[in-house]
Structure 1
Amino acid sequence: MLELRRLRLLAEFARRGSIAATAASLGYTPSAVSQQLAALEREARLPLLDRTARSAELTDAGRRLAARAEEILTLVEAAETELSAQADTPMGRVVVTAFPTAAVALAPALAQSLGDHPGLTFVLRQTRPGDGVRQVQNGEVDIALIDDWTGKVPDQSPAVLEFFHLRRDPLVLVVPSSHRLSDPRRPVRLHELRDEPWMAAPPGEPSRQAVERLLDTVGGARPVPWEFEGLHTILSLVARGIGITAVPALALAAGDQGVAVRRIPECALAREVYAVTRKASVRRPSVAVTLRAVHAAARDAEPARPVPDPPPEPPSAAGPSGGA
């Protein structure tokens, strides 16, 4: 009989394309993955991988079984969901992973809301960009909170996943409270900030890419920001008067003293925030109640409130033309 855990490994190998990548994805050693796949071959009584000294790829039988493995794992989860749905009380362990700013912003509301369900064990983990969708697809977590700056992630993801839109999170300008732009009477003009000490996340981070797109609009040579890991580290440096930055508004939901937040004129840069789960999990009481709590927490989270823009200056009155 084919063992489910080994089928999950085969399905992940089909997605990743190598034993090393499969091991890294699931937290195993390459040797453990290789041994389990060899055991699956013995169960199937067919070679599933064509191995060489440096690589391995699926045989025709391996590809067919990997496709069936996805179907089998989805059916097993659907059966578990139907059984658990018979009980109205959410019970058991539900694991949520989130990008860091969402984890910090939403954790208090989630803990308070889900604390009303004593039979539920709630686990919230932080994850790196791009990992959440994969973790849900692999069954490592039940729900992932992800951010998408491209507007394409839901359309490019596997059909077994369900996406729930939580909110739009715009990019805002953050300056020290002692900065001239903390005065709401002063308009924000990006070109006047070209020579300011900008700070941003390291290259490759989605928020850094958004900041670079913003800085492309300041005119002249694009400022080169100082780099720091973690948006909360950057915000703490801004609060100390060391520089300025632009971050998604939700990054300030936990509260940051010593900074002023301004709307960026004519800036459409924003990320969409989603909750992702497997379609077969949506009806599980533990997942359903957690999704409702996530929706409520995202809706009620108080992102940074930008200092109001100054009122537009009235047009200057045209004086009478003089004549001689």
Structure 2
Amino acid sequence: MLDLRRLQLLREFAEQGTIAATAASLGYTPSAVSQQLAALEREVGAQLLDRSARSAELTETGRLLAEQAEQILAMVEAAESVLAEQRGVVTGRVTVTAFPTGAVAFAPRLAERLRRHSAMQLVLRQTMEGSGVRQVSAGEADIALVDIWTGRPPDTGAGKIRHELLLRDPMVLAVPEDHQLADPARPVELHRLVGESWIAAPQGEPSRYGTDALLADVGGAPAAAWEFEGLATILGLVSRGIGIAAVPALALTAGTTGLAFRRLPGEAPARGVYASVRAASLRRPAIDVTLRALRRAAGDVQRDLAEVLDRIPGA
């Protein structure tokens, strides 16, 4: 009998490519991963990894088993979901990961709606941008709240992952409270702001796509733009007069003082906020009630965003 946890390790190794990356992804030590994969080789009776002093890669047998592991693990989860559905009782632990501003906005609403299900446990974790879908795919999380700036939904992994659009979150301009644009009578003209000190996420971060799209028609983001990770950090710097920034409207929930916000001219770039979940787990009652709670919470968040945007001076 093949050990399912070891199959999960093999599948993760196939995705990550190294023992160290697999260990970091799943929260193990490299030594533990190596030992478990060696134990799997003994179970199978074949070499799965071709090891050298500095690296390891899958053998042909290892690649074949990793492909089968994907299907085996999905079938096991689907069977567990059907059995849970038959029992009709909402039980078990559901792990939700979310990007930071999504976690802040959704956590209280989600907890309020799920607390009546006393036999289930909700775990909500903040995650690094861009890693939510990978965590769901690897089985580290059940549902991920992910933000997508491209206008296209995330990849489904050949149907393995389902994505549901929950809301759209437009960008707004954040400036220090003593900035000239803190005066609502002054128009927001992007071409006049190119010379400002812009603070943006580093290249490759999801929110940087929104800043680049916003400034594309006026020459793009300045080459000397300050780059910092994390919207809370960016807003803190803006509040200290270091520069200006374009941020998602959900960032207004951070409560940072010393800031003024303005709506952007035209159709501002917006991110889509999606709930991503493994297709094999959709029939689990706990997953179903959590997704329904997320949909209702998203409706509340969208209404709150609309009210906040109505109070922000226009361009």
TM-score, normalised to structure 2's length? 0.89
Per-residue deviation, 1:75: 0.9
Per-residue deviation, 1:114: 1.4
2 CA distance for matches of 1:4 and 1:77? 11
Per-residue deviation, 1:241: 4.5
Per-residue deviation, 1:156: 5.7
CA contact (8 A) 1:11 1:67 kept: yes
The corresponding residue for 1:305 is 309
Unpaired runs of 5+ residues, structure 1, are 311-324
Q: Does the C-alpha gap of structure 1 residues 219 and 117 become closer, same or farther in structure 2, counting only changes over 3 Å?
A: same
The corresponding residue for 2:265 is 265
Unpaired runs of 5+ residues, structure 2, are none
Per-residue deviation, 1:226: 2.8
**More deviation, 238-247/28-37:** 238-247
The corresponding residue for 2:21 is 21
Q: C-alpha deviations, 1:127-174, integer Å up to 9, x for none?
A: 112211111111111101111122345246342111111111122112
CA contact (8 A) 2:199 2:234 kept: yes
Residue identity opposite 1:174 in structure 2:
A
Q: C-alpha deviations, 1:254-294, integer Å up to 9, x for none?
A: 54454332222134422111011111111111111111111
Question: Aligned ranges for residues 15-94 of structure 1 at < 5 Å?
Answer: 15-94=15-94
Residue identity opposite 1:112 in structure 2:
E
* SS of equivalent to 1:224: coil
Q: C-alpha deviations, 1:55-111, integer Å up to 9, x for none?
A: 222222222211111111111101111111123332121110001110111111112
Per-residue deviation, 1:10: 1.1
The corresponding residue for 2:117 is 117
TM-score, normalised to structure 1's length? 0.87
Question: Aligned ranges for residues 1-324 of structure 1 at < 5 Å?
Answer: 1-155=1-155, 157-219=157-219, 222=222, 224-301=224-301, 302-303=304-305, 304-305=308-309, 307-309=312-314
2 CA distance for matches of 1:231 and 1:221? 17
CA contact (8 A) 2:92 2:120 kept: yes
Number of residue-to-residue matches in the alignment: 310
2 CA distance for matches of 1:50 and 1:238? 51
**More deviation, 162-171/240-249:** 240-249
Q: Which has the larger radius of gyration?
A: 1
Per-residue deviation, 1:47: 1.6
Residue identity opposite 2:111 in structure 1:
A
2 CA distance for matches of 1:75 and 1:286? 18
Q: Does the C-alpha gap of structure 1 residues 43 and 82 become closer, same or farther in structure 2, counting only changes over 3 Å?
A: same
Q: Determine what percentage of the aligned residue pairs are the same residue.
A: 61
Residue identity opposite 2:55 in structure 1:
S
Report the RMSD for the aligned CA atoms in angstroms.
Answer: 2.3
Residue identity opposite 1:193 in structure 2:
L
Q: Which has the higher helix share?
A: 2
Residue identity opposite 1:135 in structure 2:
Q
**More deviation, 58-67/220-229:** 220-229
* SS of equivalent to 2:276: strand
2 CA distance for matches of 1:309 and 1:221? 22
2 CA distance for matches of 1:232 and 1:211? 16
Q: Does the C-alpha gap of structure 1 residues 79 and 172 become closer, same or farther in structure 2, counting only changes over 3 Å?
A: same
CA contact (8 A) 1:168 1:273 kept: yes
1 CA distance for matches of 2:166 and 2:256? 23
Q: Does the C-alpha gap of structure 1 residues 83 and 193 become closer, same or farther in structure 2, counting only changes over 3 Å?
A: same
Per-residue deviation, 1:38: 1.1
1 CA distance for matches of 2:29 and 2:53? 18
